[in-house]
A and B are shown apart, each in its own frame.
Chain A
Amino acid sequence: AQKVTQAQTEISVVEKEDVTLDCVYETRDTTYYLFWYKQPPSGELVFLIRRNSFDEQNEISGRYSWNFQKSTSSFNFTITASQVVDSAVYFCALSEAGSSASKIIFGSGTRLSIRP
């Protein structure tokens, strides 16, 4: 069965610090997809990244970077030089290609608070 674990329930850092959000997943499929979503206080879900299981290259987008390691089944998310606007709940998610490719299983989320 597929599962996504975000062990960090809440993280609080001071602005400009770097912060890493952990994500560990479980799946029996060899083809799968991983996602990160951001949910700011307003409630909407903002798509951040999608990564397939065959692409282990790390990705950087501005202050955001993602580290995908199949050997440890992890897909961690780092925010560099954090800002107050980064305060949100962040969800890691998994979709297996074998099932409905659009069925996404979400982790429990990490609430990130950036203090000025």
Chain B
Amino acid sequence: SAVISQKPSRDICQRGTSLTIQCQVDSQVTMMFWYRQQPGQSLTLIATANQGSEATYESGFVIDKFPISRPNLTFSTLTVSNMSPEDSSIYLCSVEGAEGPPLEQYFGPGTRLTVT
């Protein structure tokens, strides 16, 4: 299994600012995923990030709001831009495991974001 860490683990931010969340994996992985979990809700996929190419965004999510970087095979960042209280959520990074198909997805501990 992959060990995933995220920074920060939580943050309280002001409306209109931006926050960059980091995701670090202990092994090289092809695909990394970013999910959002709004309070009391299920998980929704924001985008898929492959190294060396632009991220693929799901319906309802746009690059201007959630820019993603994937500089190498063990690291990715998600930025939540121009935040509003509606962006208050847990943001989770996940990666594929080595066993499949389908490849298992392992999740990071999440970043709990509160926007005031």
Contacts and interface: CB of A to CB of B under 8 A. Distances in A.
A95 B33 CA distance: 14
Interface string A90-116: 010001010011111011110000000
Of the four ranges (under 10, 10 to 19, 20 to 34, 35 or more), the interface on chain A belongs to 20 to 34
B63 interface: no
Interface residues of B, number: 24
- Chain B contact residues, majority secondary structure: strand
Contact of B48 (A43, A95, A102): A102
B96 A44 contact: no
A50 B108 CA distance: 18
B102 A47 contact: no
Contacts of A91: 42-43
B110 A44 contact: yes
Interface in B33-49: 33, 41-45, 48
A7 interface: no
A101 B41 CA distance: 23
Say what secondary structure dominates the interface of chain A: loop
Interface in B47-102: 48, 90, 92, 94, 96, 100-102
A50 to B, nearest CB: 6
B105 interface: yes
Nearest to A101: B102
Smallest CB-CB A-B distances: 4 pairs? A45-B107, A101-B102, A106-B42, A106-B43
